[in-house]
């Protein structure tokens, strides 16, 4: 079973997906981290520096991406990202890498490279909770449960502000709101795989809900679907 959960930054996707996957015994697939990994590689790897800004042609970029030692695996019920022998984690969570990921996500070659990885990983897991911005519309259109989480801007900014503060990052609420607005516009207006709810998605505004309430609602829907699938004919 695949559960595909989309939505804008700060809607609560990451926390909800982690808890939901754990409750169901599924694997959590953070597709956003995969884009941040490519953005990090653009800024770090020899020959890729500046690539996110210069936007080389798709064919050349696709060949370059296929040749870098960036690997993804599902281990211990979660996504692991490797660059060579290095495991990537917290270095992918800075505001700078987040914004760079938004830029490179507009490039068709990057999206095709990562969508192929995402589908490969999903085929290896007994059950997947995939989080992203086009997981239900493009990556897993066959997902049994499609969800679109959202929240008002003030709520989303407050959540992201708390997240950055916990990591010791110095950024103001106003800066975060600006970054979120810019990311929303970029993600929803890009030509390739724009962010939007799937036609059959369950829409849920999380503004006035706790994490537990959101997870409870989604877990209930998932369990109902699982019972339907397992019911003998």
8-14: average pLDDT: 88
**pLDDT (tens digit per residue) in 71-119:** 999 988 889 999 989 999 989 988 888 888 888 888 888 999 999 999 9
DSSP 155: H
Is 184 within 8 Å of 10 (Cβ atoms)? no
Round to whole Å and give the CA distance between 104 and 53: 8
Residue 177: which of 147, 151, 214, 149 has the closest Cα? 151
Question: Rounded to 5 degrees, what are φ and ψ at 44?
Answer: -115, -40
The radius of gyration computed from the CA coordinates of the chain, to the nearest angstrom, equals 17
| Per-residue pLDDT at 138 | 94
Q: How far is CA 23 from CA 16, 28, 226, in A?
A: 11, 11, 13
Residue 218: which of 9, 8, 28 has the closest Cα? 28
Domain 2-219: which CATH number of 3.60.90.10, 3.90.245.10, 3.40.605.10, 3.40.50.300: 3.40.50.300
Is 143 within 8 Å of 133 (Cβ atoms)? no
Nearest 5 degrees, angle CA 220-CA 25-CA 212? 45
What does pLDDT average to over the chain? Answer: 87
**pLDDT (tens digit per residue) in 183-219:** 888 888 877 778 899 999 999 999 989 999 999 999 9
173-186: average pLDDT: 88
More confident residue, 65 or 149: 149
DSSP reduced 3-state for 172: coil
Tell the residue number behind the tokens 């890729």, with chain if given: 48
User: Can you give the pTM of this predicted structure?
Assistant: 0.85
| Per-residue pLDDT at 52 | 44
> What sign for the dihedral angle of Cα 162, 164, 166, 170?
negative
Confidence band of 53 (pLDDT split at 50, 70, 90): very low
CA 57, distance to chain mean position in Å, is: 24
The interaxial angle of helices 31-44 and 95-104, nearest 10 deg, is 100
Q: Where are the alpha helices (DSSP H) in the chain?
A: 13-24, 31-44, 51-54, 58-67, 95-104, 108-124, 153-166, 173-189, 211-230
Least confident of 50-54, 82-86, 123-127, 135-139: 50-54
Residue 29: which of 173, 101, 132 has the closest Cα? 132
Round to whole Å and give the CA distance between 84 and 57: 25
């Amino acid at each position: 079973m695949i559960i595909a959960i989309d939505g804008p930054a700060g809607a609560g996707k990451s926390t909800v997906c982690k808890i939901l996957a754990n409750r169901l015994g599924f694997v959590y697939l953070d597709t956003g981290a995969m884009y941040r990994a490519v953005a990090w590689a653009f800024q770090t790897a020899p020959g890729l520096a500046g690539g996110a800004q210069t936007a080389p042609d798709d064919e050349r970029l696709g060949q370059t991406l296929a040749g870098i030692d960036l690997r993804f695996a599902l281990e211990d019920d979660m996504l692991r990202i490797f660059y060579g022998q290095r495991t990537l984690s917290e270095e992918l969570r800075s505001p700078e890498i987040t914004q760079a990921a938004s830029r490179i996500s507009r490039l068709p070659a990057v999206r095709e490279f990562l969508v192929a990885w995402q589908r490969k990983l999903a085929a290896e897991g007994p059950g997947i909770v995939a989080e992203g911005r086009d997981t239900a519309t493009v990556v897993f259109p066959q997902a049994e449960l499609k969800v679109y989480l959202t929240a008002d801007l003030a709520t989303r900014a407050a959540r992201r502000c708390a997240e950055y503060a916990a990591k010791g990052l110095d950024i103001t609420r106003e800066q975060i709101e600006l970054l979120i607005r810019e990311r929303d516009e970029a993600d929803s207006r890009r030509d390739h795989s724009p962010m939007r709810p799937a036609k059959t998605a369950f829409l849920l505004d999380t503004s006035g809900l706790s994490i537990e309430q959101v997870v409870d609602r989604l877990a209930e829907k998932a369990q109902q679907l699982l019972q339907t699938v397992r019911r003998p004919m």
